Every structure is written in structure tokens, then in C-alpha cells.
Structure 1
Amino acid sequence: MTSDIGSLTRTTQPTSTPAHLKHPSFAMRFTSTPRGARLARRLVAVRLDEWGVPYGTEPHEAVVLIAAELTANAIRHGLVPGRDFHLSLRVTDRPRPAARIEVTDTRGERVPPLPGRLRAPGVADDGRGLVLVEGLAARWGWYPRAKGPGKTVWAECEIPGAASGC
């Protein structure tokens, strides 16, 4: 058996999005465990690569890091025993092409501060997640869950085609 490895090329430069993926989306519920957060992060990475935002590019890595932080917060600060968290990822084109990540949990009484009001926690071992999100995302925020208790934390990161990257 022979294989032509030379025909399998990967690029680290953003590629154009095929017409059928102009507004791709992905949504799934995950268990509120470290394993669920890890799986969510990995699926975000795979989807972005499939949608033309390749592994190793700054936008890809930024979006995956944002997804990791938001899902980690959902299992740490939004945990209600026996309840899952929901992640959605989609590509928007307003005001510029961006990946929008939304993570919904069922704990409504623990909400993040408003964007722009975060402070780095000094020498603490934790508490930097939303500071990272704010630094990487073009926009972020949260809103109450539409049905039932909880909240949705979202972030948008500009992707190829935007002037500043992510």
C-alpha cells in the first residue's frame, strides 16, 4: 500500500470560506465537568479549522482560548449540580467577520462584572479568565438566560478578513 503524503497540504494562513460555510454554526450541550469543558474547547478548535480558520493562526488560537475560559467559568462559577452548560459558536459578518462564542449555564445569581470593569487580580492563582477574554475579544458581555435561571456569557473575536485580526 502506498500513500501520497505530499498531497496532504496544510496551511497556517487563513483561507477563504467556501460559499456553503459563509455563516457556519455549531451548538451543543456539555456536562458541567472539566472533561465537558475540554471537549467543548477541542470541538471549537476542530470547527474553526473546518471553517477556514486554520490551527496555528492567531485568530484560531484566540477563539479557542476564549472558549476555554468561558467553558471553565461555566463549570466553576455557573455550576448547578446535574445541569449541563451549552456552547454555541457561529461566524457573523457584522460589523466585521467574527467568531461569536456563547456559553450558557443555569446559575443566574453569579454574574460576571460588566465589560471594561475588570481588574487583574494581582498575584492570585486564578481570576484572570475574563481579563484574558477582554484582552482577546473585540467585544464581550453577558445577558440573562432567555428561558429559566442562568446567564449567557458571549465574546466575539474578529477572524480573517478583518483589519486587525483578533
Structure 2
Amino acid sequence: MNTLGDVHQEIAAPCTPLHQFTVPLSAARRGARLARLLATEQLRSWEIPLDPARLIVAELAANAAVHGRVPDRSFRLTLTVTVHGVLRIEVTDTRGESLPARRSAPLGPAESGYGLLLVEELADRWGVRGGPVPAKTVWAELDLAR
């Protein structure tokens, strides 16, 4: 079992939102696909570049649907754009005891887990925030003004 020491922890709350979008989704592959589609449309409406944000949404939503799934519980996607030009992507699921871990060694050919390596490469920052029990939120931020 992983501990919060294995991943970046969030210390402060995000800055004042300029735009915010939140939606609960079915904790299934279909919900993960819908998360990516809804995020794409929301980013378009805010005139924000689609990539790499939709790739990050796709990975975090897929992880929530596969690894964070609890029967009869949904996961939540939240997109926030701050006045400081940061896009924050959050995916909250109800498996707070199951935290993502940073990989210190390469994975073998039969192992999964490359998705969070992708998130780490694409995002400017990412981490996990526990609570409220039994939930956890995996988040990633993109600096839009680069």
C-alpha cells in the first residue's frame, strides 16, 4: 500500500477560479471516455489548447475508472482555470486508500503504470490530495502562459 509520502501532496488550495467545470461520471470505462469528451468541449469553449490537457484528463479518468472504482460510486472531474493562467485538472474517486505511486525504477514489459509517467511528463505539476474520507483527488496543473 502506498502512502502520501510516495506522491506530491497539495499544500495550498488553488487560486481564484476564472472558469470552473465539474461533473460526476460513472466509474467505468464509458465514464472515463465521457470525461475526455466533455473536457475537450469545455476546453474548446474556454479557447484553451486541447493538448496536453485532454491526454491528462484521459489518463486520470481511466485510472479512476479502473483503479479507483467502487461499485455504485462515481468519480468527479473538475477543470479550473485560475486568474493566474493555470489549468488545474482534478479527478476525485472514492478509493482513498489506493494512492498512485511514483516509479523509481523502469517497469517490466508486462506491467502497467505508464499513464502516470505520461502525466508527470506533460503536466507542470501533479500530485494527490486525500479526503474527505473515503475519497482522494489526483490533480495536475498546466501553466497556460508558457
Give the TM-score normalised by structure 1. Answer: 0.72
Q: Within the alignment, does 1:48 sit opposite 2:48 as a pair?
A: no
Equivalent-residue separation in structure 1 for 2:93 and 2:136 (angstroms): 6
Partner residue in 2 for 1:9: none
User: Which of 152, 161, 166 lines up with 2:137 in the alignment?
Assistant: 152
Partner residue in 2 for 1:98: 86
The count of aligned residue pairs is 130
Moved over 2 A (4+): 117-120, 122-126
Structure 1 or 2: larger strand share?
2
Partner residue in 1 for 2:14: none
**CA offset at residue 123 of structure 1?**
2.2
State the superposition RMSD in angstroms: 1.7
Larger Rg: 1
Q: Deviations over 1:21-53 (max 9, x none)?
A: x81110010000111111111010011111011
Equivalent-residue separation in structure 1 for 2:104 and 2:58 (angstroms): 18
User: Which of 70, 85, 101 lines up with 1:113 in the alignment?
Assistant: 101
User: Which of 20, 28, 35 lines up with 1:33 in the alignment?
Assistant: 28
Higher relative contact order (CA 8 A, sep 6+): 2
Partner residue in 2 for 1:10: none
Sequence identity (%)? 48
- Equivalent positions of 1:127-166 (< 5 A) are 127-146=113-132, 148-159=133-144, 162-163=145-146
Partner residue in 2 for 1:78: 68
Evaluate the alpha carbon distance shift between residue 101 and residue 120 of structure 1 in structure 2; reply closer, same or farther with a 3 A threshold.
Answer: farther
Task: Give the unaligned 5+ runs of structure 1.
Answer: 1-21, 54-58
Equivalent-residue separation in structure 1 for 2:24 and 2:94 (angstroms): 12
